[in-house]
Amino acid sequence: QVQLVESGGGLVQAGGSLRLACAASGRTFSIYTMGWFRQAPGKEREFVAYISRSGSLYYADSVKGRFTISRDNAKNTVYLQMNSLKHEDAAVYYCAAGYGSGWFQSTGKYDYWGQGTQVTVSS
């Protein structure tokens, strides 16, 4: 079992930055691909970014060049640095852990989810 706890959400002005963190329990963090997803009211949960256990990165087109995902295996933590935030980035952000091979853009690839952290972008 892996438990994930997100932090770092909050209210930020458009154009500003936030850094989300997701702390994982357990000693096997390094074997998982870690992903970030988001869900706005009335919308489906959508992929944002993932980092594989080998360090490969993949981003949704909507955040490419603005968001950066990273991981610190010694701290069992994955981060999402969000810059140049837009109103459309406002959502609840979830981190997730998945094991296996292939592409990890879909929610079905992940085995564990955090409870989410709210990001609000103001004018």
Q: Is the pLDDT of residue 61 over 80?
A: yes
pLDDT tens by residue, 77-120: 999 999 999 999 999 999 999 999 999 999 999 999 999 999 99
Q: Give the mean pLDDT of the chain.
A: 96
Q: Is the pLDDT of residue 26 over 90?
A: no
Which whole number is the average pLDDT over 56-76?
A: 97
Q: If pLDDT is split at 50, 70 and 90, which confidence band does 27 have? A: confident
Check residue 25 and give its pLDDT.
94
| Per-position DSSP letters for the chain, written without gaps between them | ---EEEE--EEEETT--EEEEEEE-SS-GGGSEEEEEEE-TTS--EEEEEE-TT--EEE-TTTTTTEEEEEETTTTEEEEEE-S--GGG-EEEEEEEE-SSS---SGGG-SEE---EEEEEE-
